């Protein structure tokens, strides 16, 4: 009686727990579209977080550079001990001591404001703005690279899931084939050698399936880290990407998109930075005009005789004009260096622009190649499937040997795997084209 009640309790508990367990399993699987993948990349990828921090640092450097527009204000407070003075004859024969107020202090306030120096402050701020733009473009460039890298992992994972399906189907066929072989063997129609070959092929297929599943786990781990997801999440690719119509524009339109490519814009910003650096170098040959004002409160008064233990207060204000004469000899060399660096940056910009066109052209060709391969591999898949059907029929009728059937099975498996991969290759080639054009 007790055992029956215990069984009922366990059964009821199992009914209650099983939906929770199934729900937990379902929650661990996450189906992601490509757009959702890219959103998670932008939000959580560690490399992009570093690039984002660089942008914030560059923005703060602009605020620091703007401090040069503000006046310099300083204050000082001194306390000191003043020793007695000694008066000595010029032949050092006699000396006398003069009492001095021994304790002194001094408080001073001074302000200075740069009025003009050839626009050096404005240009310094402009350089920091350009560096901030470079940091932003570097972020965008990293974003393109990481998006494509993550898409590659995502699509490779998709391939592995497709391969797993192919292997499961072929394992089922191999098992059915082995069952038939065993029947033939019992009937004395085939030798033990055929059974061994059938078992060996089935074992190899199961081993290949295990390798595919292990690779799935490895890629899934890499993706969860890149996307900032819990490592227990199993990412499921969206199968609709292989049937979506991928809109491909004429090649010339992708060349036009290169104008806004982050890498090309980076080279253009480098040219601008060297141009502004040349202006700053020219500012070294300009005089600097500053305004100043100050106030000093000091004791004792030592300019009177005898010295008086009293405070003296004085203030001053005026303009200061300074010019570094050595800049006339040093600045031209810096200006020449800036010009050479600017010329080099222009040549690099032109080189990068041409190389980007080459990359776009190659990606465009590879996309069309992926389409052609897919069509060819589809035909191959159908042909190998028909060949396998014929060889299986012949073997079942003892018109072919098992080795021919296994060869047909292996050819069918290889064609199915290649076709499954080719559909994903089209999608990757499409995203590679968008990345090279800077529109991913």
351 CB-near residues (< 8 Å, 6+ apart): none
> Are 422 and 377 spatial neighbours (Cβ–Cβ below 8 Å)?
yes
Domain that holds residue 88: 74-116+288-322
CATH number, domain of 203, equals: 1.20.1600.10
The pLDDT of residue 13 is 42
> Are 229 and 30 spatial neighbours (Cβ–Cβ below 8 Å)?
yes
> Are 402 and 198 spatial neighbours (Cβ–Cβ below 8 Å)?
yes
Gap between the Cα atoms of 40 and 235, Å rounded: 13
Gap between the Cα atoms of 186 and 261, Å rounded: 70
Which range among 243-247, 275-279, 282-286, 311-315 shows the weakest confidence by mean pLDDT?
A: 243-247
Task: Read off the pLDDT of residues 55-98 as tens digits, 9 standing for 90 and up.
Answer: 999 999 999 999 989 999 999 999 989 888 888 888 888 888 88
Q: pLDDT class for 244, splitting at 50, 70, 90?
A: low
* Cα–Cα distance list, 33 to 97, 155, 201, 238, 320 (Å): 94, 11, 36, 5, 66
- 404 and 418 assigned to the same domain: yes
Which range among 73-77, 242-246, 356-360 shows the weakest confidence by mean pLDDT?
A: 242-246
Q: What is the mean pLDDT of the chain?
A: 85
String of DSSP letters for 266-301 = HHHHHHHHHHHHHHHHHHTTS-EEEEEEEEEEEESB
The pLDDT of residue 399 is 72
- 60 and 110 assigned to the same domain: no
What is the mean predicted confidence (pLDDT) over 194-202? 85
- 315 and 336 assigned to the same domain: no
- Residue 1 pLDDT > 50, yes or no? no
- Residue 46 pLDDT > 80, yes or no? yes
Structural domain includes residue 8 = no
- Residue 127 pLDDT > 80, yes or no? yes
- 254 and 387 assigned to the same domain: yes
- 248 and 158 assigned to the same domain: yes
Gap between the Cα atoms of 37 and 27, Å rounded: 17
- Of 322, 346, 370, which residue constitutes the final position of a domain? 322
String of DSSP letters for 363-382 = HHHHHHHHHHHHHHHHHHHH
Instruction: State the total domains in the chain.
Output: 2
Q: pLDDT class for 245, splitting at 50, 70, 90?
A: low
- 154 and 223 assigned to the same domain: yes
- Of 272, 302, 322, which residue constitutes the final position of a domain? 322
Structural domain includes residue 5 = no
- Of 301, 322, 343, which residue constitutes the final position of a domain? 322
Which range among 15-19, 59-63, 126-130, 376-380 shows the weakest confidence by mean pLDDT?
A: 15-19
- 137 and 220 assigned to the same domain: yes
**What angle separates helix 120-186 from helix 402-437, to the nearest 10 degrees?**
170
What is the mean predicted confidence (pLDDT) over 169-186? 84
- 393 and 248 assigned to the same domain: yes
- Residue 351 pLDDT > 60, yes or no? yes
Burial of 333 (0-12, 13-18, 19+ CB in 10 A): exposed
């Amino acid at each position: 009686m007790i055992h029956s009640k215990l069984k009922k309790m366990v059964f009821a508990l199992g009914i209650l727990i099983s939906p929770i367990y199934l729900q937990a399993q379902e929650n661990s699987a996450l189906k992601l579209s490509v757009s959702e993948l890219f959103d998670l990349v932008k939000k959580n990828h560690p490399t992009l977080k570093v690039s984002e921090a660089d942008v914030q640092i560059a923005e703060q450097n602009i605020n620091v550079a703007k401090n040069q527009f503000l006046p310099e204000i300083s204050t000082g407070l001194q306390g000191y001990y003043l020793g007695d003075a000694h008066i000595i004859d010029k032949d050092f024969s006699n000396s006398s001591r003069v009492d001095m107020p021994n304790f002194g202090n001094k408080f001073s306030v001074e302000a200075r404001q740069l009025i003009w120096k050839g626009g050096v402050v404005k240009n310094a701020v402009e350089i920091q703005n350009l560096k901030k733009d470079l940091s932003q473009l570097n972020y965008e460039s990293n974003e393109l690279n990481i998006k494509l890298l993550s898409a590659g992992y995502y699509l490779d994972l998709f391939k592995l899931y497709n391969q797993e399906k192919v292997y499961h189907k072929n394992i089922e066929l191999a098992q059915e084939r082995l069952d038939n072989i065993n029947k033939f063997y019992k009937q004395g129609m085939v030798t033990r050698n055929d059974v061994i070959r059938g078992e060996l092929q089935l074992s190899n297929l199961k081993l290949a399936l295990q390798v595919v599943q292990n690779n799935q786990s490895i890629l899934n781990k890499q993706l969860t880290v890149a996307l900032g997801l819990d490592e227990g999440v199993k990412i499921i690719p969206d199968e609709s990407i292989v049937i979506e119509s991928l809109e491909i524009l004429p090649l010339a339109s992708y060349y036009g998109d290169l104008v806004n490519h982050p890498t090309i814009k980076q080279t253009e910003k480098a040219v601008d930075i060297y141009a502004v650096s040349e202006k700053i170098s020219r500012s070294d040959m300009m005089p600097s005009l500053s305004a100043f004002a100050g106030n000093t409160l000091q004791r004792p008064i030592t300019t009177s005789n005898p010295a008086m233990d009293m405070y003296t207060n004085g203030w001053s204000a005026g303009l200061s004009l300074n010019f570094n004469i050595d800049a006339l000899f040093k600045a031209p060399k810096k200006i020449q260096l800036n010009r050479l660096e600017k010329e080099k940056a222009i040549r690099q910009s032109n080189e990068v622009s041409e190389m980007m066109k080459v990359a776009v052209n190659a990606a465009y060709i590879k996309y069309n190649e992926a389409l052609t391969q897919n069509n060819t591999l589809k035909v191959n898949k159908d042909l190998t499937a028909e060949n396998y059907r014929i060889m299986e029929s012949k073997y079942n009728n003892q018109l072919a040997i098992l080795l021919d059937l296994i060869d047909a099975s292996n050819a069918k498996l290889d064609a199915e795997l290649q076709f499954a991969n080719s559909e994903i290759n089209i999608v990757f080639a499409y995203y590679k084209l968008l990345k090279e054009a800077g529109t991913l």
